[in-house]
Amino acid sequence: MLLLIAMRVIPLGTSSGKPTLRRNVSGLAVARDGDWVLFDCGEGTQTQIVRAGLSPSRLSAIFITHLHGDHFNGLSGLLSTMGLDRRNRELTIAGPTGIKEYLELLQRLKIAFLTYPADIKEFDSVPTPIQLYETNEYTVTGLGLDHRLFAIGYRIEERARRGRFNVDEARRLEVPEGPMWGQLQSGRDVIVDSKVVRSSDVLGPPRPGKSVAYCLDTRPCEMSVELARGVDLLIHEATYTDEYSSEAQLYGHSTAAQAALIAQRAEVGKLLLTHFSSRFSDPAPLLEEARNIFPNTILADDLIEIEV
């Protein structure tokens, strides 16, 4: 049987604004077999990467939501470490305009060291969804959100997978179990006793790949609903509870209840709350508030693993 590669989400930092004793500032990894991408890179992210058991050499791309320090200040250190480790593989970096100028200045000052190619994609606005990165297995799309300054939300989506292998049909067609089954599962036709058996004869309809949306930092907005439509997992900021809704509006953030309403409207599979204000030493009230609206909600914690 074919091995299906699991998509894993690993929060590397779940605190808003500043780190706490239990929580680092924003960063989140989405990992698949042999490959992973990073969303946001607050200070201390590279230490969290080590703790999570992730290999920087397998990091393919970094996506920055916006240029507030708690989402960005760890970037130069991580990039420099990969240079010290003699990385030579190209790295994609995407986010708001300013990243390239920032890194060029740090390199001139001998603070940052990039000894490998970096494909930096910068945007002043993203009013409609745009594909920012793709591999043979998945794509990453960006869309502007609603924060105090320009911020981008992201959606990572696996390409459709082949349909399920019909064992009974393969046996009915007298295909011998073994290498030929593997060939059919990989989409190749085989010849059995001078007769062609097509992979389409034994494979069901294509299955949609897994999908994850990442919406930090933002007020509740239509763009979040659009970006998250139908995903298996929505990662959404929940900086405050509803009693601080006016503060959330002022500073460009969301309450847990507002995140839950976005999940409900977007018809997502599961909601993962993150980006908690440091005033919540215990984020349980955030979880309770969200679950009253969207029951399939969980809380992020630094370095937990969530299989999508």
Catalytic residues: 70
Distance in angstroms (rounded) separating the CA atoms of residues 72 and 13: 12
Secondary structure (DSSP) of 158-218: EPPBPPPB-HHHHHHTTPPSSHHHHHHHTT--EEETTEEE-HHHHB-S-BPPPEEEEE-S-
Amino acid at 271: L
| DSSP 3-state of 275 | coil
Distance in angstroms (rounded) separating the CA atoms of residues 230 and 227: 9
Tokens read off for 256: 């847990």
| DSSP 3-state of 285 | helix
Burial of 281 (0-12, 13-18, 19+ CB in 10 A): exposed
Residues 6+ apart with CB under 8 A from 236: 213, 215, 216, 224, 228, 254, 259, 262, 263, 271, 272, 273, 274
Tokens read off for 19: 């780190």
Of the candidates 247, 150, 152, 165, which has an alpha carbon nearest to the alpha carbon of residue 201? 165
Of the candidates 216, 67, 82, 211, which has an alpha carbon nearest to the alpha carbon of residue 143? 216
Amino acid at 259: A
Residues 6+ apart with CB under 8 A from 207: 160, 161, 162, 163, 164
Report the alpha-carbon angle 73-45-23, nearest 5: 100
The helix (run of H) or strand (run of E) holding residue 128 is none
